[in-house]
Amino acid sequence: MRSLLFLALSLCVSTSLYAESSDWLSIPVVNQESEPELAEVLDTDGPSSQQLIQWMSTASKHGIDIPQSKWLQLASDPSLQNVRQVAHEYASYLDTGRLKPAIYQPSWHIQDRPSLPVLEDHMGADSLDLVESKLPQYRHFVAALKRLEAWVVGVEEHFPKDLILEKGDRHPSLLKLNQWLVDLDMADRLPAGKYSLAHETAVKRVQKKYRIYADGQLGPRARRALVAMTLDRIKILKVNMERMRWLPRTLPYPHVMVDIAGFNVAWVTGENKKRHFRAIVGKPSRQTPVFQEEIESITVNPYWRVPSSIASTSILRKVKKDPGFLEREGFSVYSGWKAGARKVDTSTVKWSQYSRRNFPYRIEQKPGKVNRLGRFKLDSPNAFSIYLHDTDRPELFKREVRTFSSGCTRVENIDQLIGSILKYQGMGKQVNGLMKQKETGRLKLRKKVPLYFVYFTAWPDKQGRIRFRNDIYHLDGALLAKL
Ordered structural domains, the chain, with CATH: 2-132 (no CATH), 138-242 (1.10.101.10), 251-302+373-482 (2.40.440.10), 304-366 (no CATH)
Instruction: Give me the pLDDT at residue 93, please.
Output: 92
* Residues classed as catalytic: 389, 408
Residue 344: which residues within 8 A CB-CB, separation 6 or more? 333, 334, 335, 361
Give the model's confidence band at 375: pLDDT under 50 very low, under 70 low, under 90 confident, else very high.
Answer: very high
Instruction: Give me the pLDDT at residue 113, please.
Output: 85
Question: Does residue 441 register a pLDDT over 60?
Answer: yes
- The number of CA neighbours under 13 Å toward the Cβ of 472 is 26
Q: What is the pLDDT of residues 4-16, one digit of tens each?
A: 444 444 434 333 3
Question: Does residue 21 register a pLDDT over 60?
Answer: no
Give the model's confidence band at 25: pLDDT under 50 very low, under 70 low, under 90 confident, else very high.
Answer: low
Instruction: Give me the pLDDT at residue 45, please.
Output: 57
Of residues 438 and 296, more confidence is placed in 296
The strand order across the sheet containing 362-365 reads: 304-305, 362-365, 331-334, 343-344
Q: How far is CA 367 from CA 141, 142, 301, 329, 437, in A?
A: 44, 47, 5, 10, 12
- CA-to-CA distance for 427 and 205, rounded, in angstroms? 49
- Which H/E stretch holds residue 137? helix 136-158
Mean pLDDT of 99-121: 89
Closest CA to 455 of 282, 312, 315: 282
Q: What is the pLDDT of residues 278-308, one digit of tens each?
A: 999 999 999 999 999 999 999 999 999 998 8
Check residue 398 and give left, alpha or beta (phi > 0: left; psi -120 to 50: alpha): alpha
Instruction: Give me the pLDDT at residue 293, please.
Output: 97
Q: Of the given ranges (177-186, 262-271, 369-378), which has the lowest mean pLDDT? A: 369-378
Q: How far is CA 234 from CA 98, 198, 208, 262, in A?
A: 17, 24, 19, 19
Question: Does residue 20 register a pLDDT over 50?
Answer: no
Q: What is the pTM of this model?
A: 0.86
Choose the most confident range, by mean pLDDT, from 53-57, 71-75, 203-207. Answer: 203-207
Q: What is the pLDDT of residues 452-473, one digit of tens each?
A: 999 999 999 999 999 999 999 9
Q: For all residues of the chain together, what is the average pLDDT?
A: 88
Q: Of the given ranges (4-18, 127-141, 330-344, 373-387), which has the lowest mean pLDDT? A: 4-18
Mean pLDDT of 417-427: 95
- CA-to-CA distance for 93 and 59, rounded, in angstroms? 10
Question: Does residue 157 register a pLDDT over 70?
Answer: yes
Our separate counts of H helices and E strands in the chain read: 16, 15
- CA-to-CA distance for 48 and 296, rounded, in angstroms? 49
Q: Let me know if 163 is exposed, middle or buried by CB neighbors in 10 A (0-12, 13-18, 19+).
A: middle
Question: Does residue 23 register a pLDDT over 50?
Answer: no
Instruction: Give me the pLDDT at residue 126, please.
Output: 75
Mean pLDDT of 431-443: 88
Instruction: Give me the pLDDT at residue 22, please.
Output: 41
Instruction: Give me the pLDDT at residue 9, please.
Output: 45
Instruction: Give me the pLDDT at residue 49, please.
Output: 86
Residue 353: which residues within 8 A CB-CB, separation 6 or more? none
- Which H/E stretch holds residue 303? none
Mean pLDDT of 33-50: 51
Question: Does residue 123 register a pLDDT over 70?
Answer: yes
Question: Does residue 41 register a pLDDT over 80?
Answer: no
Residue 50: which residues within 8 A CB-CB, separation 6 or more? 9, 12, 13
Closest CA to 470 of 294, 288, 262: 262
Q: What is the pLDDT of residues 245-262, one digit of tens each?
A: 999 999 999 999 999 999
Give the model's confidence band at 478: pLDDT under 50 very low, under 70 low, under 90 confident, else very high.
Answer: very high
Mean pLDDT of 334-354: 90
